[in-house]
Structures are given as C-alpha cells and as structure tokens.
C-alpha cells in the first residue's frame, strides 16, 4: 500500500470516529444566523467570522488575516453598515508542496420558521439521516468539511499534502460585494504561489451520484425602459387617445424568445460554440432523466423530454427568461392605471463563445429596431444592468483527475462530469486573477433545498464528503 | 332679488367664511387611508364610514342608516373579509319638495410615497392654491362639498330647498361590490320618492371651463392567469428547459391591441353604435385641443391631433389598456426569477351598443385561441374580474338645465356638455332602478390626477364647487 493510501485509510477511520464532533461543529455554525441580506443580523455575520477565526486558530493555522472591506455601498438602510470581513488563513508554506486556495462562504440565505420550516432553521437537527438547518449545505457544511479534514490530519499528526490558503467570505448571498477587488489586490501577495482553487458551493445534479462541475453559464441582465406620459394615468380618461408605454413594451418583449425557449434575436445563437464529439460523449453516462426535472420544477412543463437535450439546454446553450415589469400594476385585483414608465426585465444565460459586449450590441440593436418598427412617440432605451461571464474548465486536467480518483475512492463510483446553468461569478475571477485552474467539488445533493425551506445536508454527504475533500488534497498533492 | 338669489348670496358668503373649516374637514377625511383594494387597510375604510356617520350626525341628519353588505366574495386572501358598509342618510322629508339622491364614495385608490408622491399621500397639504392628497378630488373632496353645503345652510338656518338622500359607498375603486343589489333592494323603501340623482365623481374636460357630463364609458376588466412550475424557479437552473409562464403571457398580451389603440379582438369594434349627425354637432362648440391633452398627459404622446377624434376616442369608442402583471418580478434592480404563476391584467372601456356578456365571450374565446396556438403545456385561464356598463343621458332635461344655471351663476360661464371616458357603473343602476334622471356634476379639473400620484383638488374648485352644488340644489328645487 502506498503512503497515500495508508494515510487515507487512517484519515477515513479518524473521520468516522470524529463524526459526533463534526456534527457538533456544524451545529455551532448553523446556530449563528449569519444572514448577509438582513442588516439587523449583520452582527451575527461578524460573529460567524469570529467563530471561524477561532476554529482556524485551534486547528493550528500558520496565519490568520481578517480583511475588512469598509462600508457597504447603497442601497442600505444604515449608511454606516460595515461589510463582513473576508477571513483569510494559511496552513503550511512548504515550497515543495502545491498550494490550494479553498473558497467558501460563511453567510446564509434568510430563513424564518413562518416561511414553512418544520423546525427552527437555526437549530441543526438530525432526522432520517439528514442534518436540517439553514446553511447546512449552503455553505457551512462544506466549509466545516474542510476544517474537519484539517482536524483529522492534526489528531493523527499526518502532514498536509498541500499548502492551504483559505478564503472565506460573508457576502456571497448578497452579491459578494468587495470580493473581486480583494482577489485582485491579494493575487500577488496573500494569494501568491496559489496553484489551484477548489470551491465546494454547488450540488450534485441529482441525489444518487456524485459529480464534479467543469462549467457555469454566465448571465447578462437587460432592461427595456419605455417612458410616455408624465405620470400614471386613468385608463378611462386616456385609454384610446395616447400611446401607452405598456402596449409598446409588451410588443417588444414578445419578440425576444419563443415559447420553446428559442432566442429570436438574430446572431445570438450563432455565437454559441458547436458541440464537439468529445463533449457529446460526456453526456452519455450522466445519471439524469426528465422525472428529476419535473420533480424539481413541480410540474410537467419540460420543453425537452430526453436527458441530453435537457442538460445541454441547461448547461451549454443560452436561455432567455422574461422576469417581469417594473412600474406597471403588479398587485392583486384590478387597477385601471395606464403606467407612465415601465421597465421590462429579462436576462440571457451565456455560454462559450458568447462575447458579452457583442451580445449586448445584438440585444440593444434588435430591441431598438423592434421599437422603431412600432412607430411609437414614447421614449425607449434598452440597456445592460449587469453581466457575469460564463466559465468552462478542462475536465481532464490534474484537478479534475485527482477529484475523480478521490470520488471513486470514497463513493466507489466515477463522478458525473456536470456543468451548471447558474452562475458563480467568483469562479472566473479566481481563474483569471490567480492564473489557476478552478475545481468545483460539490458536497450536497440536488434536493438539499439550498435557498429554500428545510435546507438539509445528508449525514453521509457530510462525512463521506469530508473524506472526499481529504482524498482530493492527497491525490492533487501527488500530481507533478 | 328673488328668494333663491337672496339665499344663494348669503350661502356663498357663508361658504367663503367657512373655507378654513371646509379644508379642515377634507384634511381629516384624507388622513384616513381608506384604500378598498388593500385588504389590510379594510379597517381604515370602515373608519372612514364611521367618520362620515359622525359628520352626518353633527349636521343634523334626520336619519342615518348603515347598511352592511356581508362577506367580500372571492378572489380575496381573507375569506372572512367584510365589505365596507353603505352609509345612507336623509335630510328632510317634505312631500312638497323634490328629493335628490346624492351619491359619492369614501374609498380611495392605493397610494404609496414610493410611487413618486412628493409628499405623504395621506396628509393633505395646501400648496400653490391646490389641496394635494389621495382622495382630494376622487371622491372625498366632492363628498365633503355636499357636507359643506349642508353646514352653510345649517349655520344660516336656511331650509334645504330639496329633500336629500345620501348614498355613500366604500368599494367604488374596487368594483362597487354589493351596491347594485342594495339599490335594487332600497329602490322602493329607503330610496322611495327619489326624483333625481346627482353624482359628483368625475372631472372637467380641461382646466379652464366647467362641464356637465351626460355620458360615460363602461369598463370590463379581465385577467389572464398562466400557471406553470410549482414554485418560482431560478433562471440559471431552469432557463431554457421549462416552458415559462411569462413567455406565454407576454405572447398572448401582445395580440390584444396595436400601439395606436386599435383593439385587435375580432367582433369588438363591430358592436359600436354608428355616430349620428346630431351627435356629431355636439362636438363643434366644446373647448378643447390637443395641447390640453398633452398638458394633462404630461407628454406629446397623443394618438390623434384633432379635437373631434380625441374626444370621440375618449368618449364614444372603446379602448383597451394593458395594466400590468401580478406574480412577476416588479421591483427595482435585477432578480433572476422564473415566476411560476403570472396574471396579466387588462381592461376594455365599453360604449353603446356593446353587450358585456358578448364582449366577454369574444375576449375569452380570442385569448383561449391565442394561447392554444402557442402549444404550451402551462395552464391558462382568461376571465372577467368585473364589468360596469356605459351610460348616456339627455343633456337638456331639468337636471342639466338647473345645473347649467348653477354653473353660470358661480363661474360666470356656460358649461360644456361632455361625456367621460371613464366609468361610474352605478350611474346606470340608479337610472334604471329608481327611474330617475342622473346628473353628473363634476367638481375637479382634468389635471387633478385622480388615480395617479400627487392627486389634487384646486382650492377654488373645492370652494366654488361647494357653491355650485349649493346653487344646483336651489335651482333644481324650484323646477316643476
């Protein structure tokens, strides 16, 4: 048996032994309601940063550095509201070892018992082999997983196979304000020598098979602003005699996408990279079917019924969603208003090789032309609100190869190679600023309910997940 | 000088003297946010009914009768929600005098500071000779005007020239639920002996010349409900792979009307009565031009530039307005949501000879067909929320003749004879159930912003308006 396998055998046994302590660690973390979007709970977010700092200290960190980010920019109620700090930490600085940056976030989504939780969201309970509580899977479980792995190494006196740099933020659920700048600033200092980045902040595709994630869609969010009358008008008095902004907006919005999700803006689909044979192969073994989609959407409204089309249209083709209209009547009941200024919102999920600027030009040119065709005297403006780039990695690089070995070792099965339809914009920032490969190594399952009620992390995912992270460190540490 | 002129001289002088008290009365009324469409504010609507009851009592009403209307029918959130009462009251029962029923409503449209008001909508402020606040012109100002007139009579000890029956409702802005039935029920009891009905719940055509109104459009309000997923979904995960209700809804809504206000639902325009020569003549003398419309709309977005086309399309042709969407994202900024259930709202203003039931069948059949054409698996329903019929009267009867005299007396000018684009459905019910002529005698101006932000009533309109109502009572009381 190789050194690695000997070490992993001892580590896995220690992880099993420490299970009660690990659950206790997660219980303490969940008990701190570190909701970043709730200004009144900001002290709790800071308390969670302190909790982490203390854990890192007890685990023997070589360095802990608390990076303050200053005052939170508007819109805020409290104009002196401080952003929660970024908690940085180092374990080891051996120039003969590789250095992995591990990112996680210690803030959570809001949660109230009244939302429909079956138990207090901030009291972790174990039930039916699940750990239920806010943050259990997003992202306190995975963050504790890394700490658990360090504890096992420490108790066994097994040296870490890599140098570790932790980067834990407290604003992920609120736009990761300040993180981009910090990464840029520390790229050549605190994050110097980082060879690779590992993020454990997404989920298995389904509930049965572990996955590694090598791609994310980007997101370009647009608004169409149409302004007519000086104020909202009464439809009895003005209906039929003025050009109504809503009529114009609905006409333009109706031209963007068909009901089967096909984007109707010329040139957009042409930017999409063609599917290669090698890529095509990747979809064959993935475990997924339309029933899982229907279960997740709570309906039978799938556009595609076959696995490959569903996954490709979720991961590697763009999509356009109409989100809503600002300024129009949006309440219950009946209001006879002619809204004077309406703002239609839609976004396009982007994929390789869509260029954000080119896309925005196509979108705004198309919308401007459609509005011009109407011949309306109202004012029109189409504009980008924000964009975040897509990300795709090589799923056959050292990171993914090591993670495949680790997964196989722990779960006895080859992981599926997946992409995600959503965005984790920080992924690309790490890749670009540090010049390092990024691996997304999820711990939780597709049904964990990350942003929903009764969020959970299965006990096996927490414990075997900690083993997987541990094995990954050793296999990646052994690569050239 | 005749008795009438002597009395009016004293009354007008008293009204001028009581101006501060009258503004105080309106201030108190506006301070009660009696928004009938907001279930949470229902207690405030009831508070407003109590306020009126108290005022009527202080003015020496011979009878006050509070008519409860029971539970509000669906759609409601609170299935036990009580309708606000109808406040009935009598002043005088002299068989030698004519009896006028005066209708008004004490509920108001919704109003939030965030909508763009320059001041708290429920705090009446006086600025630039305007009284600004929600309900100032629609319809608390006119209702207070009648109470003001009674106060002037009372303080001078001048007997009322007619018997008065008040009928004040609290659901006008929400479809006048229950009022039709009450009128039917009381036609031969509380409303027995009513000779004539006067309603002051509309506006001058422009801002310079008083008007009397002899016609109203009706209003049929529709909603299109589209339901897909079981809950709102993340557009990153589900965008491109499920049929989005918003896409379907925007497609169907885009087929209803063109940007020039032409209704595209087959059969609707064919129901409209042809214009007669006599009717055509009435438009010649009316003081109005496109500049007034542009001033009122605060824009240069008029569909027609000539007086006759503008007025005809406001008054005697139907119109269709798209009001908004319930259930979609309606806030500021960007939210990447796929709404699971969206409800599109639109209404059609109706004119002679459009039949409501036939119209509803045309609308729902058309929308159902348009949705079916899409081939979407989402659930669709098109339905009428409420309807109110159009109304047209003889502008040369005793009521209109007396009101012309009253207007000339106070404002020194002959009023224009107008129709309205808006609806006061109850007008027709009063006419039909009581067999009485109805006069619409507006107090406010065309730029008051009845359903909009910064709603106002000019101080002269409030005070001279109170004089006009007073003069009307005396001139009509003297007719045979």
Tens digit of each residue's pLDDT (9 = 90 or more) over B46-63:
999 999 999 999 999 999
Residue whose token pair is 């005299």? B405
pLDDT of the residue at B74: 84
Contact B216, B391 (CB under 8 A): yes
Q: Which of B175, B219, B234 sits opposite A422 (nearest CB)?
A: B234
Which of the residue ranges A228-237, B72-81, B258-267 would you say has the lowest mean pLDDT?
A: B72-81
| Cα→Cα distances A323→B44, B233, B245, B398, B459, Å | 34, 11, 10, 56, 44
Torsions phi, psi of A282, nearest 5?
-60, -25
Sign of CA dihedral A185, A188, A192, A198: positive
- Tokens standing for A175? 């736009």
Quick one: pLDDT at residue A157?
97
A446 in contact with B at a CB cutoff of 8 Å? no
| Nearest CB to A319 within list B240, B298, B386 | B240
Are A326 and B331 a contacting pair at CB < 8 A? yes
- State how far the Cα of B304 lies from the Cα of B33, in Å rounded to an integer: 37
The four Cα atoms A113, A117, A119, A121 give a dihedral, to 10 degrees, of -70
Beta bridge partners of A360: none
Q: B422: which DSSP letter? A: S
Of A219, A329, A378, the CB nearest to B301: A378
List CB contacts (< 8 A) between A374 and chain B: 259
> Does position B281 have pLDDT exceeding 90, yes or no?
no
- Is B74 at the interface with chain A, CB within 8 A? no
Comparing alpha-carbon positions, the chain B residue that sits nearest to A329 is: B324
B281 in helix, strand or coil? helix
Rounded to whole angstroms, how far apart are CA atoms B233 and B235? 6
Instruction: With a cut of 80, say whether residue A75 has pLDDT above it.
Output: no
A153 is in an annotated binding site: no
| A 282-311 residues with CB < 8 A to B | 293, 296-304, 310
Count A/B contacts: CB-CB distance under 8 Å: 323
Selected residue with higher pLDDT from A231 and A1: A231
Find all residues with CB under 8 Å of B218, minimum gap 6, and list them.
B349, B350, B351, B354, B356, B387, B388, B389, B390, B391, B423, B425
Q: Between residues 342 and 361 of chain B, which touch chain A (CB distance below 8 Å)?
A: 345, 347, 349
Question: CB atoms < 10 A from the CB of B460, how many?
Answer: 12
Cβ-in-10-Å burial (0-12, 13-18, 19+) of A21 comes to exposed
Best B240, B249, B331, B448 residue to mutate vs chain A (most A CBs within 10 Å): B240
What backbone phi and psi angles, to 5 degrees, belong to A148? -60, -45
Closest CA to B383 of B219, B217, B172, B220: B220
DSSP annotation of A83 reads P
Judge whether residue A215 has pLDDT over 70: yes
Shortest CA gap A414–chain B (Å): 24
Q: Which two tokens stand for residue B197?
A: 């009905």
B451 marked as part of a ligand binding site: yes
B75/A contact by beta carbon, under 8 A = yes
Q: Pick from B253, B258, B304: which is nearest to A241 by CB?
A: B304
**Predicted local distance difference test score (pLDDT) of residue B205:** 87
- What is the percentage of chain B residues whose pLDDT exceeds 90? 86
Which residues of chain B does A345 touch, with a Cβ-Cβ cutoff of 8 Å? 329, 334-335
Which pLDDT value is given to residue B1?
A: 67
Two tokens, residue A455: 């969020």
Residue A263 DSSP symbol: B
Q: How confident is the model at residue B142 (pLDDT cuts 50, 70, 90)?
A: very high
Mutate to test the interface with A, among B243, B250, B342, B455 (most CBs of A within 10 A): B250
A379-388: strand order across its sheet:
A319-326, A341-350, A218-227, A379-388
Q: CB of A437 within 8 A of CB of A398?
A: yes
pLDDT at B110: 92
Q: CB distance from B203 to chain A under 8 Å?
A: yes
Calculate the average pLDDT of chain B. Answer: 95
Decide: B100 and B162 in contact? Cβ < 8 Å: yes
Question: In chain A, what is the straight-line distance between the N-terminal and C-terminal CA atoms, in Å?
Answer: 20
How close A212 comes to chain B (CA, Å)?
16
Contact B259 A251 (CB under 8 A): yes
Chain B residues closer than 8 Å to A253 by CB = 250, 254
Q: What is the model's pLDDT at position B302?
A: 97
Average pLDDT value over all residues in chain A = 95
Cα(A277)–Cα(B126) distance, integer angstroms = 74
Is A334 in contact with B108 (CB distance < 8 Å)?
no
Average pLDDT of the segment spanning A50-58: 98
Upper half-sphere CA count for residue A458 (Cβ side, 13 Å): 16
Average pLDDT over residues A28-33: 98
Write the CATH number of the domain with boundaries A3-216+390-477. Answer: 3.40.630.10
CA A336/CA B173 separation, integer angstroms: 9
Is the pLDDT confidence value at B285 over 90?
no
Name which of A253, A298, A385 is nearest B250 (Cβ-Cβ).
A253
Is the pLDDT reported for residue B130 higher than 90?
Answer: yes
- Is the pLDDT at B367 greater than 80? The verdict is yes
Place of tokens 């790490």: A430
Domain boundaries, chain B: 3-216+390-477, 219-272+317-388
Overall average pLDDT of the B411-433 stretch: 91
Alpha-carbon dihedral of residues A177, A183, A189, A190, nearest 10 degrees? 70
* Distance (Å, whole) CA B124 – CA B22: 12
Q: Is A157 on the interface with B (CB under 8 A)?
A: no
Distances (CA, A) of A415 to A395, A400, B343: 11, 10, 42
B305: Cβ–Cβ under 8 A, 6 or more apart, which residues?
B290
Angstrom CA distances, A99 to A96, A239, A399, B121, stand at 9, 67, 12, 61
Q: Given a cut of 90, is residue B231 above it in pLDDT?
A: no
| CATH number corresponding to A218-272+317-388 | 3.30.70.360
Given A244, A303, A349, which is nearest B236 (Cβ)?
A: A349
Judge whether B349 is annotated as a binding position.
yes
Residue B425 has pLDDT above 80, yes or no: no
Residue in the block written with tokens 């930490």: A89
Residues of A tagged active-site: 107, 172
Which phi and psi angles does B228 have, rounded to 5°?
-125, -100
Q: Where residue A174 falls among pLDDT bands split at 50, 70, 90?
A: confident
In this structure, chain A runs to a length of 480
Using an 8 Å CB-CB cutoff, list chain B residues near A229: 297-299, 301
Q: Encoding tokens for residue A420?
A: 């995600």
pLDDT for the residue A333: 86
Please say whether the beta carbons of A211 and A374 come within 8 A.
no
Name the closest residue on chain B to residue A219, using Cα atoms: B236
Task: Note the pLDDT tens digit of each residue in B311-353.
Answer: 999 999 999 999 999 999 998 888 888 999 999 999 999 999 9
Radius of gyration of chain B (CA): 23
What is the per-residue pLDDT for A296?
87
Please list every residue in chain B whose beta carbon sits closer than 8 Å to the beta carbon of residue A231: 116, 298, 449, 452-454
Evaluate if residue B206 carries a pLDDT over 90: no
Classify strands A391-392 and A211-216 as parallel, antiparallel or unpaired: antiparallel
Residue of chain A whose Cα is closest to the Cα of B173? A335
- The reply to whether A420 touches chain B by the CB within 8 Å rule is yes
At A466, list the tokens: 């900690």
Instruction: Give the contacts of B170 (CB within 8 A, at least 6 positions apart).
Output: B34, B36, B45, B46, B48, B49, B83, B84, B85, B86, B87, B105, B106, B107
Residues of A in contact with B257 (CB under 8 A): 247
pLDDT tens digits for range A409-436? 999 999 999 999 988 889 999 999 999 9
Judged on CB neighbours under 10 Å (0-12, 13-18, 19+), A271 is middle
Cβ distance A347 to B336 less than 8 Å, yes or no, reads yes
Tell me if chain B has a CB within 8 Å of the CB of A341.
Answer: no
Predicted pLDDT at A352:
96
Distance from CA of B375 to the nearest CA of A (A): 8
**pLDDT-based confidence at residue A310 (cuts at 50, 70, 90):** very high
Strand ranges in A240-378 using DSSP code E only, listed in sequence order? 319-326, 337-338, 341-350
Instruction: Calculate helix-pair angle for A42-58, A19-30, nearest 10 degrees.
Output: 150
**Is residue B125 less than 8 Å (CB to CB) from chain A?**
no
- The minimal CB distance from A247 to the residues B246, B257, B330 is found for B257
Q: What is the pLDDT of residue B450?
A: 87
CA distance A215 to A440: 9
**Residue B446's pLDDT band (cuts 50, 70, 90):** confident
Structure tokens at B111: 């109003």
3-class DSSP state for residue B257? strand
Residue B386 labeled ligand binder: no
Task: Look up the CATH number of domain B219-272+317-388.
Answer: 3.30.70.360
């Amino acid at each position: 048996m190789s050194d690695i396998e000997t070490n992993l055998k001892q580590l896995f046994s220690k992880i099993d032994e420490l299970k009660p302590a690990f659950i206790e660690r997660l219980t303490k973390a969940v008990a701190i309601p570190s909701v970043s979007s709730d200004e009144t709970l900001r002290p709790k977010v800071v308390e969670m940063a302190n909790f982490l700092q203390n854990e890192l200290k007890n685990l023997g960190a070589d360095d802990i550095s608390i990076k303050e980010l200053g005052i939170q920019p508007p819109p805020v109620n409290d104009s002196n509201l401080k952003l929660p700090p970024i908690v940085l930490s180092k374990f080891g600085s051996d120039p003969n070892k590789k250095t992995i940056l591990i990112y996680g976030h210690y803030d959570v989504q809001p949660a109230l018992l009244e939302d429909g939780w079956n138990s207090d969201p901030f009291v972790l309970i174990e039930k039916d082999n699940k750990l239920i509580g806010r943050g259990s899977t997003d992202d306190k479980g995975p963050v504790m997983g890394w700490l658990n792995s360090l504890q096992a190494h420490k108790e066994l006196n097994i040296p870490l196979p890599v140098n570790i740099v932790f980067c834990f933020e407290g604003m992920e659920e609120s736009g990761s304000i300040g993180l981009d700048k910090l990464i840029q600033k520390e790229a050549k200092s605190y994050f110097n020598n980082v060879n690779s980045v590992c993020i454990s902040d997404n989920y298995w595709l389904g509930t049965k098979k572990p996955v590694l994630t090598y791609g994310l869609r980007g997101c370009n969010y647009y608004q169409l602003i149409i302004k007519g009358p000086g104020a909202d008008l009464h439809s009895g008095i003005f209906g039929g005699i003025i050009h109504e902004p809503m009529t114009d907006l609905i006409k333009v919005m109706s031209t963007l996408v068909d009901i089967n999700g096909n984007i109707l803006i010329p040139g957009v689909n042409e930017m999409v990279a063609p599917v290669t044979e090698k890529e095509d192969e990747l979809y064959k073994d993935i475990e997924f079917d339309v029933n899982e989609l229907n279960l997740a959407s709570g309906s039978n409204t799938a556009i595609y019924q076959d696995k490959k089309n569903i996954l490709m249209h979720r991961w590697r083709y763009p999509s356009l969603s109409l989100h809503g209209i600002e300024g129009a009547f949006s309440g219950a009941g009946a209001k006879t208003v002619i809204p004077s200024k309406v703002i239609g919102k839609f976004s396009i999920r982007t994929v390789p090789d869509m260029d954000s600027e080119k896309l925005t030009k196509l979108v705004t040119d198309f919308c401007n032309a459609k509005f011009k065709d109407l011949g309306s005297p109202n004012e029109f403006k189409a504009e980008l609100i924000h964009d975040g780039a897509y990300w795709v990695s090589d799923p056959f690089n050292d990171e993914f190869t090591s993670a495949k070995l680790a997964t196989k070792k722990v779960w006895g099965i080859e992981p599926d190679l997946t992409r995600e339809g959503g965005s984790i914009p920080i992924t690309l920032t790490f890749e670009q600023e540090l010049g390092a490969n990024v691996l997304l190594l999820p711990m939780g399952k597709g049904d964990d309910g990350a942003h929903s009620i009764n969020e959970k992390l299965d006990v096996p995912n927490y414990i075997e997940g900690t083993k997987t992270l541990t094995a990954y460190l050793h296999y990646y540490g052994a690569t050239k």
